[in-house]
Amino acid sequence: MKHSHSLAVMEEEMQAKTKRPYLSIVIPLYNEEENIETLQKKLDESLGRIGSGYEIIYVDDGSKDRSFIILSRIAKEDKRVKVIKFRKNYGQTAAMSAGFDAAQGDVIIPLDADLQNDPADIPKLLEKIDEGYDVVSGWRKNRQDKFWSRQLPSVMANRLISSITGVRLHDYGCSLKAYRAEIIKNVKLYGEMHRFIPAFSALEGGLVTEIAVNHHPRLAGKSKYGLSRTFKVFLDLIVVKFFTDYAKKPIHLFGSLGLLTFFFGFLSAAIAVHQKIFNNESFTSSSFLVLAVVFSLFALQSVLLGLLGEVAIRTHHESQGKKIYTVAKTVNIEVLSQDKEY
């Protein structure tokens, strides 16, 4: 009897370990020792009302304070809390990416550790996910930050991002968002691209919406981001525009640029010939002939760059057995599994 009882206990423990949570909370942080315990209490209060299994994944982005010690103690007391510690500070995008990779839930919600995001908003995000959306983005409608250094640059950046990506949101910079795991797992993050996740998710076929969420002033610790981050957004937007519009067809971008510059080269050559015939101007002294040569060479380089891009894209997909599409569901088809990335 004792033996059978111990086996039953072991089976229950195995089932508990293998049971996947419905919700994964991902929290990147850097030097937030003053806020961690308060944040954990707020999370416990909010998640306790959901009624679904959950896990909380803290990603310590190389903190130099007592953040990891506090997190380790919390994780020891609550097995639903998991901690990842980086050897050094890699940035918020890398921390979010590590959390997404480790997450086992069907829905993944990241939020900041500075207590400016409100865990009480998590149920509202889940309600929208239940309506059929793949991405629910938080909008800090009443943002509690300095106007000139934080709010105004953010408004300008959000309008620019919405215009270029075609995914219109009021607040790309809000970390509090909800993602279906099947969508976010297909989004690869590099550099500082975490703020553009909704745009990349839409590129993967995700249905994106936005809801207003609470925002609180920072009470402890120091902000890790300033006005300088705004300028990086403009550089990142160039990459986002390329990947959203031309990642699978680079020849369309570089080929169009090549044809345009070839036209200017042809036009410059025509002007040089016109001046030679009607004004008897020497080709050697014509600046338009020089422009024609420069434009023609640039056009040739652009087309060749586009062709190299096409070769790189094909090599990327074929070497990894990838397709140029993603399957969401299948009916009576076993070859194209919805669990695989195509």
The CATH number assigned to the domain holding 83 equals 3.90.550.10
In the predicted structure, residue 8 carries a pLDDT above the cut 60: no
Same domain, 132 and 29: yes
Same domain, 66 and 200: yes
Number of structural domains the chain divides into: 2
Same domain, 118 and 175: yes
Residue 289 lies in a domain: yes
Same domain, 222 and 265: no
Residue 215 lies in a domain: yes
pLDDT score of 225 = 55
Same domain, 93 and 53: yes
- pLDDT classification of 337: cutoffs 50, 70, 90: very low
Cβ atoms of 206 and 180 closer than 8 Å: yes
250 backbone dihedrals φ, ψ, rounded to 5°: -60, -25
Q: How far apart are CA 102 and CA 82, in angstroms?
A: 9
pLDDT score of 49 = 86
Query: What integer is the mean pLDDT of 265-281?
Result: 87
Same domain, 105 and 123: yes
Same domain, 255 and 119: no
Residue 152 lies in a domain: yes
Residue 135 lies in a domain: yes
Residue 74 lies in a domain: yes
pLDDT tens digits, 191-201: 677 888 898 88
pLDDT tens digits, 139-178: 988 887 776 666 777 788 888 888 888 888 988 888 999 9
Same domain, 80 and 223: yes
What residues have CB less than 8 Å from 57, skipping those under 6 apart? Answer: 24, 25, 26, 27, 82, 83, 84, 99, 102, 103
Same domain, 113 and 158: yes
Residue 259 lies in a domain: yes
Of 16 and 130, more confident: 130
Same domain, 142 and 264: no
User: 54-58, 104-108, 162-166, 336-340 — which is least confidently predicted?
Assistant: 336-340
Q: How far apart are CA 285 and CA 249, in angstroms?
A: 41
Name residue, tokens 């998640």. Answer: 47
Q: Which domain holds residue 298?
A: 250-319
pLDDT tens digits, 300-334: 888 888 788 778 766 765 666 665 555 555 454 55
Same domain, 66 and 121: yes
Q: How far apart are CA 185 and CA 201, in angstroms?
A: 10
pLDDT score of 127 = 95
Residue 7 lies in a domain: no
pLDDT tens digits, 212-231: 999 888 777 666 555 556 66
pLDDT tens digits, 243-258: 777 777 788 888 888 8
Boundary of a domain, candidates 190, 223, 245:
245
Q: Which helix (H) or strand (E) covers residue 195, if one does?
A: none
Boundary of a domain, candidates 204, 222, 245:
245
What DSSP letter does each residue of 245-263 carry, written as one string?
HTTT-HHHHHHHHHHHHHH
pTM score of the predicted model: 0.72
Same domain, 122 and 65: yes
Residue 331 lies in a domain: no
Boundary of a domain, candidates 227, 245, 263:
245
Q: How far apart are CA 260 and CA 60, in angstroms?
A: 49
